[in-house]
Structure 1
Amino acid sequence: MLSSPKGGVGKSSLSRNILVLAARAGKSVLGLDLDKQATLSTWAERRERVSAAIPDIVHIPVHRAELDDWRSALKTVNASKAEFVVIDTPPSIELNMNAMLGVCEKADLILVPCQQTQDDLDSVTPWMKHLKASGSKAAFIINRANIRAKSFSTIRAKLLAAGHVCPVEISQAEEIPLASGKGLGVMDLSRPKSAETFESLWLYLQQELGR
């Protein structure tokens, strides 16, 4: 599950790339889009259109639902019997905190994307406290990272003080939005430069989820 009170941090981008990783690993997958902006759903529709030109592209179904109706949405997910489910959630968590915490309590792992800015840190740190208090298993993941910048080590240290941090950072690679615009994930591309990063992310997820 991807969750953050901050908009524009890359929840949908990470959701679709994780779905592609799982599908390419042979898992039966399902995306659950709880964000009214429907970014993940739109990407899945674009992927279906692209599949006509790329026959071997892996099919990735995405179910769209309202956050308020999360219980019914999870029943649909369970009925699908998918092995690997990725839930993309809306920002502005404080507008419906009870629903967000309810969904989070059902998740096996919550990734909280954060960019290396103080604004992002101020937003995600209190949310991590809520998640830890509810007993949810969660980890920050630094997105659009620039590891050469001084701000990277500063933000990472502060995140570590607040909770677990995924050891794999996602750089601001041009091929990530490029792939998305085509209804693809990075690992669908031919010889992606970020292959090692996303392969490492998949290994991390397998270890954390025990799958």
Structure 2
Amino acid sequence: MIHDCKAPVTRHLVLVRHGQSVANRSGLFTGLLDSPLTEQGRMEAEAAGRRLAERSWRFSAAFTSTLTRAIVSGRLILDALGQPGLVPQRFAALDERDYGDLSGLDKIAADARWGAERIETWRRSYAEAPPNGESLRDTVARIVPCYLRTIQPAVMGGDVLVVAHGNCLRALVMALEDLSPAEVEHLELATGSVRIYELAADTTIKARWIDG
């Protein structure tokens, strides 16, 4: 009798928010601004990589946005894992939510122009967008097709790393966990934080872990 000795395929999706950027440190609405990592941001990405390395993670595929802070964070994570040869695929669909006219402003300047209540609504709500920018609903609309076409099929063949941004990951988590618009308003993902999903063969979520 011949026994199949192949190890079972593991299907994990690991989401990491990039490390702190210069714009994050300055309290700016960043969005599509291509702000580099601070030294703290580099350490946050390296720390995320070390935490994954402690659990012996090895990725068969990786994805990032097209923005520097996600690209560099992804490289630092993979270096910490001993996988410098794994080159992440970059997708504009994974870029941060476009903050439109808020981009580059700090909260004080934005509050002075539009009012604190309106700014908080634009930041947290699902459907409302800042002037000339995206709502979270808009972000969901571009990220979910990218996930279904490219990322999910990769996860079905092994463990996958995605390094991206706070709001675009909120949008993806909303879809993965079937969160309501009210629930997603309260979802926060810190820089350098890690979320891990185990997927079943039918692509449903079997388990979830949160680190940071």
TM-score w.r.t. length of structure 2:
0.27
- From the two aligned structures, give the one with the greater helix fraction: 1
Q: TM-score, normalised by structure 1?
A: 0.27
Structure with bigger gyration radius: 2
